[in-house]
Structure 1
Amino acid sequence: MRSQGDRPVPLGPESLTWKYFGDWRGMLQGVWAGSMQNMHPGLGAGVEQHSTFFDERWQRLYRSLYPIGGVVFDGDRAEETALQVRGYHANIKGIDAKGRRYHALDPDTFYWAHATFFMGTVLTAENFMGGLTEAQKVQLFDEHVQWYRLYGMSMRPVPATWPDFQQYWERMCGDVLEDNMAARGVLDLSRLGPPPYASWLPERVWAVLRRPVASLFVWITVGLYEPSVRELLGYSWSTRDEKVFTLFGKAVDLVFGLVPPRRRLHPRARAGWDREQGRIPRTAPLVHTPARNLPPVQRRSDPSHYAPNV
């Protein structure tokens, strides 16, 4: 969809993306999204050579939700947010270990990251939010195109239709993605610290909790992978796994049905709905990440980092 003057049109509350994206259940596919993104050769090289993700895993994840979510939920300010997100990637470039040049703003690389946001939304809705019809998947696909236009990137890599996207996804998973250090780093949760909001936990307590938490998230991730990605990474997935995974997804959906709708949403998504429903003024300041999620002090002036109010 385009507006007068060929300006991109932000998504609004009538969209399915607003319904499914920004729900806390999306955190269940966080390791899936990170590993899928990093298996892309250019994106993985950028993470290996430029990112501080592995030094501050939780913080980087939680603060990234704010600007990424803002591209969906910021209304009239969504395009500005999108351009800020694009700007964080301007200096991420180089030559990877195989001698291949990469740049985070290469159209194919940048679109791959967005494609994982879209497919992450589909997978979350399908597995943890009651499921989707084929017509809803088509609508979400069309909305992801509208959403992507806000970044001002080339539309060349974007498939024309949902069936075209399915072919694109199959080709990427089967022929393009690589088993690399950046993806393996995402999947290795053996040294994962407690999330920032639980930093008060004694290390000995977290050391006990970490193993089952890590095992659960890797298992969820393997369940969300395409068979070709499981094969690439050497994971197995049994019929029993699939049955338990289905029951797990239904249980998540049931539990979240008991949570008040506003509390199911990430703060940036909640603020978008609050503006639409008149709870807060449309001109209210955008919600930004709390200080506990900010980058280390010495890195906050780096233009590659989202560090509001610094």
Structure 2
Amino acid sequence: MTDVAETPQQDTAQRPDALPLGPQSLVWRYFGDNRMYLIGPRPAVLQNMLAELGQGVLDHSVFFSDTRARVKRSLPPIFMTVYGSDDDHPGQQVRDFHTQIKGTMPDGARYHALEPETYFWAHATFVDQVLYFADTFVKRLTGAEKEQIYLESKTWYRRYGVSDRVMPADYAEFERYWERMIDEIVIAHPTAKYGVGYVTKGYPCPKGVPPALWRVVSKVFNPVAAFLTTGGMPPRTRELLGLPWTDRQERRYQRFAALWRSRPVNWLWDHLPMRVRYNKYARAGYARA
């Protein structure tokens, strides 16, 4: 008996709609990796470049008065949405944080953080964070690996308990969505501009750090922070935000990334203790699993 060729329709029907999170997933492998600092604040800045999201932060967040407090409050439940189990509900807590985040745009239009288009954009920047970090600083991802990460991210998104009607079906559709958002939708919102202001002005002295010490430390910290922040942004968003970047800096950034992707560096990293390689939320997830 001869084999019957599989039609495209059959192939599509057999593809999973989403993939599970867990110790075998690529999202788990990369999202809590401490090398993630190498991409700078890419996801946070891109989030705030969506006008409605940036306005919500401007109107309701302590981002401007105490940036560190806002980060400390926001990130733990997001990490636990990934590294928790399906029976946990940190994703719903994240959703509920945004119930009262609503208001009026400068043009009079209304916004709400739980609007599907707005909420999914915030999630999309985290999906991009995983993809960009892994492909830039760990290894060049194959098409199958990108597809796997995206399908795992659909499970992640559904843990928030919000509408998924705007969520792209697969990685190819997500890639088109991402390119349209970057090329046509995002803007230089004041919240995003504030978030990268230190690139040209220098980072202000953190609370609790003696000014004299910061004057010494900042001579190294500020150039490194500016390099990672600007290098980690998509080219069009650099232009929108007025971030200075030259061809020479781009070549340096690519050499820097290639060094991190090299076999010796990856071998060394993989042999470091778990407490060095992963944040505490990822370590807790792996330990439980």
Tell me the distance in 1 between the aligned counterparts of 2:273 and 2:252: 27
Tell me: CA distance 1:9–1:166, structure 2 relative to 1, closer, same or farther (3 Å).
Answer: closer
Tell me: CA distance 1:134–1:161, structure 2 relative to 1, closer, same or farther (3 Å).
Answer: same
Tell me: CA distance 1:94–1:229, structure 2 relative to 1, closer, same or farther (3 Å).
Answer: same
Q: In the TM superposition, what are the counterparts of 1:121-132 in structure 2 within 5 Å?
A: 121-132=130-141
Tell me the distance in 2 between the aligned counterparts of 1:93 and 1:222: 30
Aligned to 1:192: 204
Aligned to 1:140: 149
Tell me the distance in 2 between the aligned counterparts of 1:157 and 1:167: 13
Deviation string for 1:255-295 (max 9, x for gaps)? Answer: 7456323421111111111111xxxxxxxxxxxxxxxxxxx
- 1:221 is aligned, of 229, 246, 259, to 229
- 2:189 is aligned, of 153, 176, 180, to 180
What stretches of structure 1 of length at least 5 have no aligned partner? 1-7, 277-310
**Matched residue SS, 2:133:** helix
- 2:160 is aligned, of 139, 142, 151, to 151
What stretches of structure 2 of length at least 5 have no aligned partner? 1-17
Tell me the distance in 1 between the aligned counterparts of 2:281 and 2:157: 18
- Structure 1 or 2, whichever has the larger Rg, is 2
Tell me: CA distance 1:269–1:68, structure 2 relative to 1, closer, same or farther (3 Å).
Answer: same
Cα offset, 1:65, TM superposition: 2.4
Please provide the CA RMSD for this pair.
2.2
Moved more, 250-259 or 22-31: 250-259
Aligned to 1:265: 278
Percent identity for Structure 1 against Structure 2 = 39
Aligned to 2:7: none
Aligned to 2:170: 161
Tell me the distance in 1 between the aligned counterparts of 2:269 and 2:68: 22
1:120 matched to 2:133? The reply is no
Tell me the distance in 2 between the aligned counterparts of 1:82 and 1:30: 24
Aligned residues: 264
Aligned to 1:304: none
TM-score (norm 2): 0.84
Contact 1:10 1:76 in 2 (8 A): no
Deviation string for 1:214-238 (max 9, x for gaps)? Answer: 3322322322222222232233543
Cα offset, 1:54, TM superposition: 2.1
Aligned partner letter, 2:143: E
Aligned partner letter, 1:182: T
